[in-house]
Chain A
Amino acid sequence: MSAHDHAGHDHAHGGAAHGSLKGYLIGFFLSVILTAIPFWMVMTGAIDNKQATAIIIMAFAVVQIVVHMIFFLHMNPASEGGWSMLALIFTVILVVIVLSGSLWVMYHLNANMMPGLHEMQQMP
């Protein structure tokens, strides 16, 4: 308990970590690259396979979000005695459940419940 209290004191006086000029520049440089490559891929159609392109640009987005979290939002496991990280992990789990759950369920509903025009014409 005393160790935790001490961490709280440090934050009250020194504030959260602000990062450094170097940190901001590294973060900016990485995000420019991580933004430019997906745009380039989609605008020029560098890879012919659309599904592969979609998976790659999503991977770039995830990496860029992590870069922003570290270099701009200064997330680290120790900030606020670990509570920020815990809240973040909880939120990420909820977001993953909401997104994957909605897409999964609604995709199957669409596939099973809504016959397209083509199938309708073949019905007796």
Chain B
Amino acid sequence: MASTAITADTAAVFHLEEEHAHAEGGSTMLGFWLYLMSDCLIFAMLFAAFGVLGGNYAAGPAPKDLFDLGLVAVNTTMLLLSSITYGFAMLTMDKGRVAATQGWLAVTMLFGLAFLSIELSEFAHMIHEGATPQRSAFLSSFFTLVGTHGLHVTFGIVWMVTLMVQVARHGLIEANRRRLMCLSMFWHFLDVVWIGVFTFVYLMGTLR
């Protein structure tokens, strides 16, 4: 009886020592990084599907007939510019300049919107030409992969607007800084995925 009491005591002390160290949000960045890695696996599956099915045109249009590389280059530039402007937003956030941070976030959002509108007009053009997702396995996997990336960008923009409202209301408090850092990782991660998309889908598709 006495021995169990001692065991219970030591266990309680052990837990206290482990628990006291964590500040609020101390593990958020690592947790968000793990989420991004799992998101990376989703994209890996979609890339694999596109790699396997990307050559099956079913006598329909091939990448050469559909892709306008000039437009894709403009699109890539938009996303790259939005990455660097988000970087500037983080740098001004470090200095605590609220107005400048909001300004850079707005610029980033505009580049993101430009990316989305170019992508949507490209999709609309393809569908208008009869290159719908139902046309061939190549087009199904193309729309799934590029569409999933576009959906991520859309949610990134929604998140950005939300955070701009938060910063306008509460300023650059610790919680808002943490959220902005998470969105920073998300946004740069989308740019990394886009590198894979333009290389693997657009450039190598045109080469095929």
Closest to A105 in B: B52
Q: Which residues of A (1-36) have their CB < 8 Å from a CB of B?
A: 5, 8-9, 11-13, 15-16, 18-21, 24-25, 27-28, 31-32, 35
Check if B181 sits within 8 Å of A16, measured CB to CB: yes
Q: B23 — which chain A residues lie within 8 A by C-beta?
A: 9, 12-13
Q: Known contacts being A18-B94, A68-B191, is A57 close to B199, with CB within 8 Å?
A: yes
Q: How many residues of A contact B (CB 8 A)?
A: 50
Q: How far is B196's CA from A68's CA once the two chains are assembled, in angstroms?
A: 12
CB contacts between A and B, total, < 8 Å: 132
What's the Cα separation between A27 and B187 when bound, in Å? 15
| Chain B residues with CB under 8 A of A42 | 69, 203, 206-207
Are the CB atoms of A24 and B37 closer together than 8 Å?
no
Residue of A11, A28, A31, A50 near B29 (CB, 8 A) is: A11
The DSSP consensus for interface residues of chain B is helix
Measured as residues with beta carbon below 8 angstroms from the partner, the interface class of chain B is 35 or more
- Among residues of B, the one whose C-beta sits closest to the C-beta of A69 is B192
Whether the Cβ atoms of A54 and B37 lie closer than 8 Å is no
Question: Inside 8 A of B199's CB, which chain A residues have their CB?
Answer: 38, 57-58, 60-61
Q: How far is the CB of A47 from chain B (nearest CB, A)?
A: 10
Interface of A is mostly: helix
Which residues of A approach B to under 8 Å, CB–CB?
A: 5, 8-9, 11-13, 15-16, 18-21, 24-25, 27-28, 31-32, 35, 38-39, 42-43, 50, 53-54, 57-58, 60-61, 64-65, 68-69, 72-73, 80, 83-84, 87-88, 90-91, 94-95, 98-99, 102-103, 106
A–B complex contacts, Cβ < 8 Å, 29 sampled: A8-B22, A11-B29, A15-B181, A16-B29, A19-B87, A20-B91, A28-B83, A35-B77, A35-B80, A35-B198, A39-B73, A42-B206, A43-B73, A50-B207, A53-B207, A58-B199, A68-B188, A72-B87, A80-B29, A80-B30, A84-B33, A94-B44, A98-B45, A99-B44, A99-B51, A102-B48, A102-B49, A102-B52, A106-B52
